Each structure stands twice: as structure tokens, then as C-alpha cells.
Amino acid sequence: MNDSLMTKTVSDRLRDAGAVVVGFADLAPLDETTRQGFPRAVSFAMPLSPSIVAGIAEGPTEAYAGEYSRLNSLLTQTAQDIAAFIETRGWRAQARPATGDWSTATLRAPFQHKTAATLAGLGWIGKCALLVTPDFGPAVRWASVLTDAPLLTGTPVVESRCGDCTACVDSCPGKACTGRNWRQGMPREGFWDPKACMAGMQKISMVRLGRSGICGMCIAACPFTQAYLKRALT
């Protein structure tokens, strides 16, 4: 199977499974440890329910917690299915789960889905450190498949397209965002404080849900998310 056919086949399978954003990344800019011996990645996302996202402007809801969990499970299963398919074609592949494998010490996963997405040309890192897509904003969840399969890779996005917008900065309960725009290679601490984000998330989650968990307020605030909600709900 040649590069074009393999790329189309994987993309079609992902879209049939519910992915709305699909791309392929050349991992050459990453170090060997991060790449884990693989030269490319399949990057894909599924959308959060617009009606549920519309309800989290003031903080997380039980519906959002359920949607978050549902998508994570679906994404992880889909990544495993795609990895298995690639392996049946004679190539190596490793599914990376949607969430759950990040370090509590560093607040970082060994492989960053959003890094793969920027390298695939699917979006940029927003001021709240989430991946922003043109069509859905950050109102999506991500998974990845590392592989050596022959795939046509995208053109990386190397800088933010958020401009002077401060919607997510203003909405963050942890005041974790500095307001600076991301660019490729920039340490996250240069524009976002992960510990402040975690503290704010835990606080608002306790207030709204009675337990530590999730937030999502920056997702709802993003103008790209708002455009997605307007299209979907009107």
C-alpha cells in the first residue's frame, strides 16, 4: 500500500469512527525519547458535545464530566483499533491513550497529543495551553498513534493564531495564563503555569461537582469554540 492510499485509508477509518480532525505528523523535530523510536504519528480528535460545552462557561457540570470520560474511552479504543489495523499491514504502531498516562509530578504526559497535532498542521497551542483548531477551537479531545507506516505528513503550525484575544486568560479560575502567545519550541512555562491551572481546576471542580476533577472554562470561552457552538446550535 503506497503513501497516498495508506494515508487515505487511515483517515477514512478515523472519520468513520467519529473523528472530525485528522492529520499526520513528521516527528523528526522531537527527541528520540519523545518519539519512542517512531518517525510519524497519526493525530486525531473528536468533538465535545456543543450543548454540553455551552453549559460550562461558569464551571464544569456532571454532563461535562460524563462527556469527557466518554470521549476519552472512545478515543483510546479508536487509537488501539487504528494501531491494530496498521500492524496488520506490516508496520509498527503504538496507540497513545487520550488521557491517564501523565505524571503527577511534572503534570505532563510522555507523549503530547497537542504537539503531534501542531506538527500535523491541525492547529496551534492557545494561551491556556490547549490545542486550538480552526473549526472547533479547543472543544475537542485528542489521541495519537505512533507508527512507521508510510503516511503523507502535514505542514506544521509553528506559531499561535490567537493574536490579542484574552478570552481564555480572563476565564481561567487559576489565573494560569500569562497572556503570551505560543510559538514552536517555547517552553509551556513561558505562557502557562500548569500548577496554577491544576489548583484552579481542583477548586472550581470542588465547588461545582463536590470533587476534584475537571474544569473546561477556557474551552467554553474561546471565540473559536463559540463559533463552533453557534454553527452547531443555531
DSSP 40: E
- Is a pLDDT exceeding 90 seen at residue 174? yes
- Give the pLDDT confidence of 185-206 residue by residue, as tens digits: 999 999 999 999 999 999 999 9
Model pTM?
0.95
Tens of pLDDT, residues 106-122: 777 878 999 999 999 99
Bridge partners, residue 142, by sequence: 45
Residues 22, 11 contacting (CB under 8 angstroms): yes
Q: How far apart are CA 205 and CA 99, in angstroms?
A: 18
Say if residues 172 and 138 touch (Cβ distance below 8 Å). no
